[in-house]
Structure 1
Amino acid sequence: MPTEQYLNAVLLLLVSIAAVNDLATRRIPNRLLLTGLSVALVLHLLSAEPGTALLRAFSGLGLGLAVFLPFYLLRGMAAGDVKMMAVVGAFTGAALAFEIAVLTWCAGGVMALVLVVARGRLRQTIGNIGRMLLGLVTLGHGAIVPAQDKSAGTMPYGVAIAIGTVAVLARHYG
């Protein structure tokens, strides 16, 4: 079995465990992510071209981190979600990590809309998004952005990352 198949199998297991844990506890354990990252790096080292494979892993890790970090900095996402996307990128490389991120954003958007409507918090959510955007636009211009009233609720974004990952892997390899 080629290394790529092992990478995909372990990645599917990782995102499944993370999604279930995120649903149950609203947390993605660092131990799970560190184990996943370690397995990804070892499998890349065991590939036919370890130098190229490691470069692909680190570029994917960097891209996964870079695309989700701004949302964490704007308080729109938890740190575990950012770290999970970085680890997913270490498995897949930058190109697939970007595809996964785009599908994750789509799945997360649908999930978020369903949750805020079901919880009756649409108005509050729109206000929070407005404050986040104001903070982004005025960043570094000395403007004071009013604090968020309160969160419109948490969402297990690990589920969205799992959906995006499974969809991309199924399309590419299924």
Structure 2
Amino acid sequence: MFIYPILFIALFISFITDIKERKILNIITLPTILYGVIYHSIANGWSGFLFSGFGFVVGFGLLLIPFILGGMGAGDVKLMSAIGSLMGAMFIMKAFVYISIIGGVISLFLIIRNRGYLDTVKNVGIMVPSLKDSQGNITLNEKSKDKIVFPYGVPIVLGTVLTIIWGGV
């Protein structure tokens, strides 16, 4: 199957660029989306086109609201769309469970490490509202403007790989 090599190349490059530059490149995600649609269309005709298209839409939709609220970058949304285009809607839904868990664990770890347990407990109630217009930054204390940021492409890549290894949750 020619899907996995393309997927792993896109994931690897996105992982590296997101860590180093805080960017997931269009030159990786857009051709990957196109490849997924073309591959599945050629392999399975109209049903393959629908499989890939629906995977694209689901991948896009899963991160659309966080993107609109400013808590997620456009590259993250496009990477999820590319994975959906290659692997289909059911795969991206299963992967999203791992992605969310990994992202949550990383966030909690960074909050606890940077601010301590007491501040973490105190700020749990304001974490979700603080994502609005934050571009992925979590404001821990309005007065100090401390922000914790991390590239969300990392949980996307790790969650996708775990889904390939272990399947769905």
CA distance in 1, matches of 2:83, 2:25: 14
The aligned residue for residue 101 of structure 1 is 96
Gaps of 5+ in 1: 136-147
CA distance in 2, matches of 1:89, 1:116: 30
- 1:161 matched to 2:159: no
CA distance in 1, matches of 2:148, 2:125: 13
Distance 1:102 1:130, change over 3 A: closer
CA distance in 2, matches of 1:151, 1:127: 17
* Residue 127 of structure 1, CA deviation: 6.3
Match runs of 1:83-122 below 5 Å: 83-120=78-115
Gaps of 5+ in 2: 133-140
The aligned residue for residue 79 of structure 1 is 74
CA distance in 1, matches of 2:166, 2:33: 23
Match for residue 20 of structure 1 among 16, 20, 25: 16
Percent identity, please: 27
* Residue 164 of structure 1, CA deviation: 0.9
Match runs of 1:122-161 below 5 Å: 123=120, 126=124, 128-132=126-130, 149=142, 150=145, 152-161=147-156
The aligned residue for residue 136 of structure 2 is none
The aligned residue for residue 8 of structure 1 is 4
2:15 maps to a residue whose letter is A
* Residue 29 of structure 1, CA deviation: 1.0
- On the 8 A contact 1:40/1:90 being kept in 2, the answer is yes
1:77-124 per-residue CA deviation (whole Å, 9 max, x = no partner) reads 112111111111111111111001111001111111122222327559
* Residue 125 of structure 1, CA deviation: 6.0
The aligned residue for residue 52 of structure 1 is 47
CA distance in 1, matches of 2:33, 2:112: 36
CA distance in 1, matches of 2:48, 2:123: 42
- On the 8 A contact 1:63/1:89 being kept in 2, the answer is yes
2:112 maps to a residue whose letter is V
Between 1 and 2, higher relative CO (CA 8 Å, sep ≥ 6) is seen in 1
1:130-165 per-residue CA deviation (whole Å, 9 max, x = no partner) reads 5258x7xxxxxxxxxxxx944622211111011111
CA distance in 2, matches of 1:84, 1:125: 30
- On the 8 A contact 2:55/2:85 being kept in 1, the answer is yes
- On the 8 A contact 1:116/1:125 being kept in 2, the answer is no
| Count of aligned pairs between the two proteins | 154
How large is the Cα RMSD of the aligned pairs?
A: 2.3
- On the 8 A contact 2:30/2:78 being kept in 1, the answer is no
- On the 8 A contact 1:61/1:90 being kept in 2, the answer is yes
The aligned residue for residue 68 of structure 1 is 63
